[in-house]
Structure 1
Amino acid sequence: MSRVLRGLFLAMTASMRERQLCSGACRCRPITDWVRGISAGSIKSTSKMSHEREPRHRPGGSSASVRAPRGACNKEKRLECPVCEKQFALRSQLETHLRTHTGGKPFECAVCKQKFTVSGSLRRHLRVHTGENPFECPVCKTKFNRNENLEVHLRTHTGEKPFECTVCRQRFTQSGSLRTHLRTHTGEKPFECTVCRQRFTQSGSLRTHLRIHTGEKPFECSVCKMKFTVSGSLRTHLRTHTGEKPFECTVCKKKFNESGDLRKHLRIHTGEKPFECTVCRQKFSDSGNFRRHLRTHTGEKPFECTVCKKKFNERSNLKKHLRIHTGEKPYECV
């Protein structure tokens, strides 16, 4: 590869000047001939001619050799990918680009053996192992392992949202957030579960869903060791230990440990009932009450007694029934 490149550079350096001086008597040939027969991983220049290393001729027939002045063909020094014809100014740029065609990943992490196409990607990856965060926010001093992550973070301080949806004009701080949002307009769900074929708009949603099938619960409470499928469930659970209730009703100042509970509570003040039965048109403020109501129409009884197999349409009715088998009498006369 390096010998090919040296030859190409020699040919290109002199090509412009030589075309001006060449009388036609020398053995010029197209650069495409020069690289013909080289494998798909080779490199060619967009310079039009190359000259073989033979005595060059001045106009008038002199056989004295001619040397092109340094820099005479800077405009001609473009290296072209033989696969897709994309052009590059530097050999190193082309060599890196060629790996997108060959799949070459010569840079390997010594810790986890993951491989990378370019050395810069390996350097960034190594920070995962070292914990290095060299990029610091000048406002809040939060540190990041990648400059791109710092740039995105800075928008939380500036309020900048450079990515705009062309459909509804909603703006976003990250291009990825815009791409995900656009799927709400297109209906696209590119991430499919290989087990049940359910599809999702976000890769993160698919990863979370897969835990239903695998039973994985990677988020563990440090207090009681209870495990959860998603990090949000763990955060909510931790409030049962801390007593924190960060969600406050602006009307009556009642506080809640979950945002969903606050949303449901607010409907008491607004009178909103967003859940409507398609059979009898009865409306409900709570989705749980709505689901229970639907069972009066469908006859569904999803709660089954493990002792006698009797079924119930509500969990509370099953709990009451189980006391027949256990003999439990939780209510005492005072």
Structure 2
Amino acid sequence: MHTFLFHYALIRAFPSACSTLCEAYAPTSAKMSHEREPRHRPGGSSASVRAPRGACNKEKRLECPVCEKQFALRSQLETHLRTHTGGKPFECAVCKQKFTVSGSLRRHLRVHTGENPFECPVCKTKFNRNENLEVHLRTHTGEKPFECTVCRQRFTQSGSLRTHLRTHTGEKPFECTVCRQRFTQSGSLRTHLRIHTGEKPFECSVCKMKFTVSGSLRTHLRTHTGEKPFECTVCKKKFNESGDLRKHLRIHTGEKPFECTVCRQKFSDSGNFRRHLRTHTGEKPFECTVCKKKFNERSNLKKHLRIHTGEKPYECV
């Protein structure tokens, strides 16, 4: 009965498909009754309608009356037709989200149940979708099946390749609705939006300090754990941030990548470079909140503030 009702819904959406669908869907008795309706009589609304060529050929393949795609099984055609009708008969009992196929609903339900039935045979990590497991397995095999046609760089995921291609095309499809800044990745836009909303969803479980991005929280946690995972291969000194290690390595290499366009002086550290530029521009971005005096370095402002606070941090021993 469900299938027959589904047939009626389809012919309401696509009247010209009636003669095709009658053969594929209706039970014999119901079909005979249905065919007595005006649309099947001479002069009826669909009396002269014929099935699209090849709708049910000798191999009994069923053809979609809308796009002519063919299917071997009635259930496959029924599922496909929902792409045209927009039908989503499978509803999640928890959040009411609807789906076109039962398999999508089953996968979605794992979001609520926490079920992860697909296990990695190497590291035992579990996943709620087989596709996610397949992608994960490439971290063990090293397989990178997706290749950039421009620079030949390879990727484990098709999504990573799509994102990478934007570095060649310059495409930035994700736009901030507040300031109109554009981004190559949706994740970058989500992170950026927190500047406007003030949202800081990542909280330190030790001191309750909050952060806008997960990476900042991970770095911060090392101040509590003392972990320093980044080691200099030359002198074995360790750092809690990869950026600090990169800066340190310049001591060994002598690299000074930041050059002043005014006097051509070079610097190994971007912070020192920015401070130097202020000697040319005269910029003084650090302002005293008490007397409004301005300084070109934060350290000079901190010293100045002691005039107002009376603080004397250095004691003679």
TM-score (norm 2): 0.80
Q: Indicate the SS of the match to 1:27.
A: helix
Distance across 1 between alignment mates of 2:280 and 2:191: 33
Check whether the contact 2:138–2:156 (CA below 8 A) recurs between aligned residues.
yes
Larger deviation, residues 73-82 vs 273-282: 73-82
Check whether the contact 2:20–2:52 (CA below 8 A) recurs between aligned residues.
no
Shift in alpha-carbon separation, 1:24–1:144, aligned structure 2, 3 A: closer
Structure 2 unmatched ranges of 5 or more: 13-17
Q: Indicate the SS of the match to 2:33.
A: strand
Distance across 2 between alignment mates of 1:25 and 1:187: 48
Question: Which of 1, 9, 22 does residue 14 from structure 1 map onto?
Answer: 9
Check whether the contact 1:193–1:199 (CA below 8 A) recurs between aligned residues.
yes
Check whether the contact 1:15–1:47 (CA below 8 A) recurs between aligned residues.
no
Distance across 2 between alignment mates of 1:227 and 1:73: 63
| Per-residue deviation, residues 262-304 of structure 1 (Å, max 9, x unmatched) | 0111111111111222222222211112222222223222222
Shift in alpha-carbon separation, 1:325–1:181, aligned structure 2, 3 A: same
Shift in alpha-carbon separation, 1:323–1:154, aligned structure 2, 3 A: same
* Residue aligning to 2:229: 246
Larger deviation, residues 132-141 vs 310-319: 310-319
Question: Which of 294, 297, 305 does residue 277 from structure 2 map onto?
Answer: 294
Distance across 2 between alignment mates of 1:266 and 1:162: 34
Q: Indicate the SS of the match to 2:38.
A: coil
Check whether the contact 2:7–2:21 (CA below 8 A) recurs between aligned residues.
no
| Per-residue deviation, residues 25-55 of structure 1 (Å, max 9, x unmatched) | 99999999xxxxxxxxxxxxx9999999999
Shift in alpha-carbon separation, 1:25–1:133, aligned structure 2, 3 A: closer
Check whether the contact 1:248–1:255 (CA below 8 A) recurs between aligned residues.
yes
Shift in alpha-carbon separation, 1:97–1:315, aligned structure 2, 3 A: farther
Distance across 2 between alignment mates of 1:147 and 1:193: 34
Check whether the contact 1:272–1:285 (CA below 8 A) recurs between aligned residues.
yes
Question: Which of 142, 150, 164 does residue 167 from structure 1 map onto?
Answer: 150
Structure 1 unmatched ranges of 5 or more: 1-8, 33-45
Larger deviation, residues 289-298 vs 310-319: 289-298
Larger deviation, residues 50-59 vs 292-301: 50-59
Q: Where has structure 1 moved over 4 Å in runs of 4 or more? A: 9-17, 22-32, 46-76
Check whether the contact 1:47–1:78 (CA below 8 A) recurs between aligned residues.
no
Larger deviation, residues 255-264 vs 76-85: 76-85
Aligned CA-pair RMSD = 7.6
Check whether the contact 1:11–1:51 (CA below 8 A) recurs between aligned residues.
no
Distance across 2 between alignment mates of 1:203 and 1:62: 49
Q: Indicate the SS of the match to 1:166.
A: coil
Distance across 2 between alignment mates of 1:119 and 1:299: 67
Shift in alpha-carbon separation, 1:275–1:69, aligned structure 2, 3 A: closer
Residue 93 of structure 2 corresponds to residue 76 of structure 1: no
Larger deviation, residues 220-229 vs 304-313: 304-313
Check whether the contact 1:23–1:61 (CA below 8 A) recurs between aligned residues.
no
More helix by share: 2
* Residue aligning to 1:103: 86
Residue 333 of structure 1: how far off its partner (Å): 2.1
Shift in alpha-carbon separation, 1:23–1:167, aligned structure 2, 3 A: closer
Check whether the contact 2:55–2:64 (CA below 8 A) recurs between aligned residues.
no
Distance across 2 between alignment mates of 1:27 and 1:122: 29
Looking at CA atoms only, which structure, 1 or 2, has the larger radius of gyration? 1
Q: Indicate the SS of the match to 2:43.
A: coil
Check whether the contact 1:152–1:173 (CA below 8 A) recurs between aligned residues.
yes
Give aligned pairs, total.
309
Larger deviation, residues 87-96 vs 153-162: 87-96
Check whether the contact 2:155–2:161 (CA below 8 A) recurs between aligned residues.
yes
TM-score (norm 1): 0.76
Shift in alpha-carbon separation, 1:323–1:173, aligned structure 2, 3 A: same
Distance across 1 between alignment mates of 2:24 and 2:31: 10
Check whether the contact 1:217–1:230 (CA below 8 A) recurs between aligned residues.
yes
